[in-house]
Amino acid sequence: MRTLIENGTLVSPTDTFEADLLIENEKIAAVGRGVAFGPVDKKVDARGKYVIPGGIDVHTHMDMPFGGTTSADDFESGTRAAAFGGTTTIVDFAIQPQGGTLKAGLAQWHEKADGKAVIDYGFHMIIREVNKQALADMDDLVKREGVTSFKMFTAYPGVFFVDDASIFRALRKTGDNGGLICMHAENGPVIDVIIEEAKARGETAPAWHALTRPPRLEGEASHRVLALAEVAKVPLYIVHLSAAEALEQVRQARDRGVRAYAETCPQYLFLDHRNYEEPGFSGSKYVMSPPLRMPGNEQHLWRGLQLDDLQCVSTDHCPFCMKEKELGKGDFSKIPNGAPGVETRLYLTFEGVRSGKISLNRWVQLNSAAPAKLFGLFGRKGTLAPGADADVVVWDPEKRHTLSAKTHHMKVDYNPYEGREVVGAPTHVFSRGKLVVEGGNFLGKKGDGRFLKRALTLA
Ligand code: URP
Ligand code: ZN
Ligand code: ZN
């Protein structure tokens, strides 16, 4: 099968140029202008549109047991929604079962995704217990299983929390095997004390989720894990960075020469604490950790994206329907933590391009090329170069779209950006050469997504 995307404007992290792009079966075969490509089976006219590498979302939680329930999207619905939004690869978090091994957790996640995903996917591994077996398994995951990154938490005591010594042991291990530790950095034990105090005073509303997780405690935990990585002499990636205080720690670490990397998410750029004040129980829609921050904080994050102190935008897609959120009616600490976003990342961050906060090239870098490089996918994904997988999105910069639960494809009954009109939307989405979304219609197939064995960080 040969498909020619004609007359488009190709965008990479460094270049914006008019060219045609030829897809042959699963791969990008050629890029050129005024070239005779020979006979093709299908042509797509991309005049007036951008042609970009498919989005790569390196932070999703499909089918994840959490907070007394399970996230609403499974690998089928979640990857389908991703494709509708122009994302063609996800990296989801497999979880070491309580008292179990990393390999058992990996097997569970393969079972969840295999035969279901509509786009390609990889896994990180969440480590909740750093014992001898886990340290040995880390080597195997990196060297044989293509799982080259691990997430650990200084948050959620009793669920995912690990102590500093465990984090340090795991960091040292990545010094041997080349893997990358990703940290959820909030001081969970202290947050739990503040939560107890608030509950003792009778505070129940969703806003207290945020008020009991001060930004300073994200800054403190970020400082600590960056110091551990510095002493261990290994790189570190901070996930879902929300607070200016944490960004400052990343910046200082980078200035000291630490290989510190971090992502933020659209919710921290486009929503803020005022959302928790919405009437009734509506504030629960935004209960996630770290929480939304005070208005003005987002300006620091945009600056971080501009100056490369933040290298990626991911989504932390972890949706729960309102009836699940209601588990925490009357007790904010029981509201399942997480919000949807896998479908809306490119739309929202393109608003950053339109408002002049980031360039078109930076948009591609943050959403595709940089995550590919940091998470061992570059060359295959995150680029329009010949030989790469033909994960390609045709993006209409003028197309208007309203974000809404009425029209989105995520299996969740609310949209955090309900009613927001955005400008710029995908018209064609190719996953490994196959057209999976065209003009709002899904043409992909359950099970077509393949597991990606990832290489080491290329940064
Ligand atoms: O609230 C969140 N972020 N839920 C998902 C789990 C995590 O910490 O990433
Ligand atoms: Zn987290
Ligand atoms: Zn997460």
Instruction: Chunk the chain into consecutive blocks of 10 residues (it has 459) and report each block's average pLDDT, rounded to whole numbers.
Output: 98 98 98 95 98 98 97 98 98 98 98 98 98 98 98 98 98 98 98 98 98 98 98 98 98 98 99 98 98 98 98 98 98 98 98 98 98 97 98 98 98 98 98 96 98 91
Amino acid 301: pLDDT: 99
Distance 236 CA to ligand 3 centre (A): 16
Question: Which atom from ligand 1 is nearest to the alpha carbon of 156?
Answer: 8
Amino acid 12: pLDDT: 98
Q: Is 89 in the pocket of ligand 1 (CB under 6 A)?
A: no
Neighbours of 373 (CB within 10 A): 22
- Report helix, strand or coil for 349: helix
Question: 50, 397 in Cβ contact below 8 A?
Answer: yes
Taking a 5 Å cut-off on Cβ, the residues next to ion ligand 3 are 316
Amino acid 239: pLDDT: 99
- Rounded alpha-carbon distances, angstroms, from residue 397 to 94, 333, 404, 425: 35, 41, 19, 6
Q: Whose CA is nearest to atom 5 of ligand 1?
A: 338
Distance 337 CA to ligand 2 centre (A): 9
Q: Is 61 in the pocket of ligand 1 (CB under 6 A)?
A: yes
Question: 56, 417 in Cβ contact below 8 A?
Answer: no
Pairwise CA distance, residues 41 & 24, whole Å:
10
Question: Which atom from ligand 1 is nearest to the alpha carbon of 288?
Answer: 1
Pairwise CA distance, residues 134 & 139, whole Å:
9
Distance 139 CA to ligand 3 centre (A): 23
Question: 140, 150 in Cβ contact below 8 A?
Answer: no
Q: Is the alpha carbon torsion for 226, 228, 232, 236 positive or negative? A: negative
Residue 73: closest CA among 112, 124, 123: 112
Q: Is 337 in the pocket of ligand 1 (CB under 6 A)?
A: yes
Prior bond to 290 cis, omega within 30? yes
DSSP 74: -
Kindly give the residue spans of alpha helices, DSSP state H, lying in 71-214: 75-84, 102-113, 132-140, 164-177, 188-200, 207-211
Amino acid 458: pLDDT: 78
Distance 329 CA to ligand 3 centre (A): 23
Pairwise CA distance, residues 417 & 419, whole Å:
6
Q: Whose CA is nearest to atom 2 of ligand 1?
A: 338
Residue 127: closest CA among 164, 64, 170, 188: 170
Distance 240 CA to ligand 3 centre (A): 7
Q: Which domains does the chain have, with CATH numbers?
A: 2-52+383-442 (2.30.40.10), 55-374 (3.20.20.140)
Structure tokens at 364: 């591609």
Question: Which atom from ligand 1 is nearest to the alpha carbon of 59?
Answer: 9
Residue 225: HSE in the Cβ half-sphere, 13 Å Cα cutoff = 33
Kindly give the residue spans of alpha helices, DSSP state H, lying in 206-261: 207-211, 215-232, 244-255
- Please name the residues in contact with 145: beta carbons below 8 A apart, sequence gap of 6 or more: 106, 453
Structure tokens at 147: 């799982």
Q: Is 457 in the pocket of ligand 1 (CB under 6 A)?
A: no
Q: Whose CA is nearest to atom 4 of ligand 1?
A: 338
- Rounded to 5 degrees, what are φ and ψ at 425? -160, 155
Distance 173 CA to ligand 1 centre (A): 25
- Please name the residues in contact with 308: beta carbons below 8 A apart, sequence gap of 6 or more: none
Ligand closest in space to the Cα of 338: 1
Question: Which atom from ligand 1 is nearest to the alpha carbon of 287?
Answer: 1
Amino acid 120: pLDDT: 98
Q: Is 289 in the pocket of ligand 1 (CB under 6 A)?
A: yes
Distance 12 CA to ligand 1 centre (A): 30
Structure tokens at 425: 């939307």
